[in-house]
A and B are shown apart, each in its own frame.
Chain A
Amino acid sequence: AGKSGGDRNAQPIKIKSNELFTDNNNRTATFVGKVSARQGDMTIYSDKLVINYSEKDKDVEKVEAFGNVRVVQGNRQALAGHALYENKAGKIVLDTSPKVYQGDDVVSGKVITYFVDEQKSVVTGGGDARVEAVIHPMDKGKDGSAKP
């Protein structure tokens, strides 16, 4: 992850939810009910969110979101039924009808890997979920410059 990744990675994750359960044997903290989790400029919304701590240094190893998952970051938005956020690697793996929107463009497939610190997503298809992308070419103005 780039420098911004290092900054984002060290920022705390601010979470709001209805309830919380921690399980120290399994090193998890489970937030349930209208969950919103924000880290830097990215926010994950879901029905349930599980924080997994690493055994070695008790740091956040991964964050798993379940149910009505929505990731919002600037003008990018991702939707899925399930998502796995690897905090250190700076990527979110989305599955269960994943879609990623950027402005009016949208991509979908079986699994989408969304890179938090780069304007990049990798879409893979499989089975009945082929890769699909809808890209809107920029409108060309009279002088040939692209209109925003």
Chain B
Amino acid sequence: MLKLNNIRRFLALVIILSAISVVVAITLKVQQGKTPAETLSRLPGNVDVALQKIHYTETKAGVKKWDLLADQAVFDRKSEIIHLTGVRLLVAAGGKMGDITLTADRADYDSKSKDVKLVGNVEAKSVSGMRFTTEIAIYMANRSMIKTAGRVRFSDGQLDLDGVGMELMTVTKNLKIMKDVTASVRTGINK
């Protein structure tokens, strides 16, 4: 008789444990359904769109004007400005300069004026051998001009110079340095 009771208790225990495990399994399943695989960080209040690894091309009358590549782009609809980081701007300048490549830590692209403001370690190189470095530079697409108000170091194979404030016309390669010019003009280049 004693033996029968033990078997009954054992079976009851097994049934209870099975019921509990079923309930736990269901609960876990439900929980999993709620939490997404990867939680996205919330975008700042003024940001509408954030993109990674962007490549933006600006054309005019079917002709490519420039390419803008960046590690990240954040679009602020209110100011209509795209804030970019890890930036490379390829200007299809043509003319005497050839194409120009500008790199910078950050940039702001104003979609109304089409100007690109490059900020932080700005470096520029052109196919014709022109180079300059500065801290902040603005590419004004409509005027085919690159402009800076700060200190700039420039060279183009004939002229090496240092000054403050620059306007460089990307098509004609004409250059204006506003202040504090120190230059070295090469002579006897082809001796």
Contacts and interface: CB of A to CB of B under 8 A. Distances in A.
Bind each other: yes
Interface of A: 9-25, 29, 31, 39, 51, 53, 57-60, 87
Contact of A21 (B175, B184, B191): B175
B186 interface: yes
B187 A12 contact: yes
Contact of B181 (A10, A12, A13, A17): A17
Contacts of A17: 181, 183
Could you tell me the dominant secondary structure of chain A's interface residues? strand
Contacts of B184: 12-15
Interface in B34-82: none
Contacts of A53: 158
Interface of B: 96, 158-159, 161, 163, 172-191
B155 to A, nearest CB: 12
Given A29-B159, A57-B190, A22 B185 contact: no
A54 to B, nearest CB: 10
A87 B172 contact: no
5 contacts: A11-B187, A12-B187, A19-B178, A22-B159, A22-B176
